[in-house]
Chain A
C-alpha cells in the first residue's frame, strides 16, 4: 500500500518560519512534490524533490531524505497570503497520490 502522513494544522505569526513534515510509505518511489491550495481554489505546484537534499525557491524550500522516507516544506518570512493548505504528494506506480494536507494559518 501507500500512505503519506503530514500534520493537519499549523499556526504561526507573520514573519515566522513554518516547517511542514511529510513521511511516506510507498513502493516504486520517484519523488516528493508539494502543492498549495487556497480555500476553494485549485492546487498549485510549489516544488519537487527527486534527490536527497534541499531545493530552494524564494521563501519556500523543500527537503527530501529518501533513506528516511521523509520530506518537509519550509515556509520562511510568512505572509498572510500564505494561509492555505499544503499537500505533499508522491508519484508511485503511475499515480500521483496526495497526503491529507496541512492547513497553515498565519496570524497578524
Chain B
C-alpha cells in the first residue's frame, strides 16, 4: 500500500524567507501528485497538480517538483508571507484513482 511521508511535521520561518517542504512516497507507480493547503478547521485547497510525466509546476510564488523514480516531491515557497501560514498536504494518485495523503507540514510564517 502506498505510504506518503511529509517532513518536517512543523516549520516556523520569518517573513520573507524562501522555504522547502518535502514529500516522499513509497510506490513510484503514480499518476499524479497534488499539493494542498488546509487552514485550521477548513477544507483543502488545491495548490498545484503535477502529472506523472511532468517534472515541475509553478503558480505564483509556489513551485512544485516531482522525481517519480526516487519517490520525492518538494514544494518551494518564495518570499514567504504570514498569509502562507497553514498546513500543507501532499497526495499521490494511484492507478485505481485513489488519493493517498501525507499527514502534512504545519507552516507558520512569523511577521
A and B bind: no
- The residues of B with any CB-CB pair to A shorter than 8 Å are none
